[in-house]
Amino acid sequence: MKRVEAVPAVFKGKMGYNIKVNDPRATLQDYIDAVEMFISGSGCFRSRKPELETCYGCDLCCQERIPVTMVDVFNLTGPNVEEAFKKFLHVYVDRRVVDITMALDGRGKCIFLDNTKGTCTVYNMRPLVCRTFICCPSTGGAKKLREEIVNTGEDELVRSWFLTGENGITPIIHEGVSPSPDISDYPPTPFARTRDYNKIRIKDVCSPQTWKRLTTTNK
């Protein structure tokens, strides 16, 4: 039995999915693999483009807020995080809250989108949030898991953003409202120890409530 399974679930007649975790050692990579396999093979309902059988050539979800994790940035650029902030990330600071997302182009689309083909130019290295999204229904547990992983991974990226500032100078901010960020709001997370989704356990990232939902039959 796989350590994580994305299993079909039907919502008002539409095919969606639930996530089941079968082993406490399951990692974020196990989760990503399970969702990707489900997306490619299930024939699940695509609410934004119901006529499509695959996502190929549809770019509707590449033009919204795209949060990024520490591991995603490492996969895209290697250890030079500072370059990533200059080249493809967007840092928005609202008072003490820091939000780091993929930069959008002048038309509001992800800068890695090929606007002619409607496909991703960094497909093999695309962020977790892209790998695990499909516009089909999913259970509350599946939604919470994805949200908690992305938030934790983004918090670690915010922490590393603070560390790119030198001699007390605030790091690069692309947009802000009275920015007053404070690193004490961003303590180290399980993403601090590694840059590999294979080495981060789901159990260490998700809340006890979400873990319970994923490891029992409830949804």
Q: How far apart are CA 10 and CA 109, in angstroms?
A: 31
Q: Using CB under 6 A as the criterion, what x/- string covers residues 13-52 for binding ligand SF4? A: ---------------------------------x-xx--x
Q: Which stretch binds ligand SF4 (CB under 6 A): 55-63, 141-149, 155-163, 196-204?
A: 55-63
Q: Which of 70, 110, 202, 205 binds ligand SF4 (CB under 6 A)?
A: 110
Q: Which of 2, 32, 36, 61 binds ligand SF4 (CB under 6 A)?
A: 61
Residue with smaller CB distance to ligand SF4, 31 or 186: 31
Compute the least distance from the CB of residue 154 to ligand SF4, in Å. Answer: 14
Q: How far apart are CA 72 and CA 165, in angstroms?
A: 21
Residue with smaller CB distance to ligand SF4, 81 or 120: 120
Residue with smaller CB distance to ligand SF4, 112 or 197: 112
Establish how many alpha carbons lie within 13 A of residue 62's alpha carbon, considering only the half-sphere containing its beta carbon.
Answer: 24
Residue with smaller CB distance to ligand SF4, 86 or 117: 117
Residue with smaller CB distance to ligand SF4, 112 or 186: 112
Give the 3-state secondary structure of the chain.
CCCEEEEEEEECCEEEEEEEECCCCCEHHHHHHHHHHHHHHCCCCCCCCCCCCCCCCCCHHHCCCCECCHHHHHHHHCCCHHHHHHHCEEEEEECCEEEEEECECCCCCECCEECCCCEECCHHHCCHHHHCCCCCCECHHHHHHHHHHHHHHHHHHHHHHHHCCCCCCCCCCCEEECCCCCHHHCCCCHHHCCCCHHHCEHHHHCCHHHHHHHHCCCC
Q: Which of 126, 146, 159, 203 binds ligand SF4 (CB under 6 A)?
A: 126
Compute the least distance from the CB of residue 136 to ligand SF4, in Å. Answer: 8
Q: Which of 9, 44, 128, 134 binds ligand SF4 (CB under 6 A)?
A: 134
Chain contacts with ligand SF4 (rule: CB under 6 A): 46, 48-49, 52, 55, 58, 60-62, 66, 102, 110, 112-113, 120, 122, 126-127, 130, 133-135
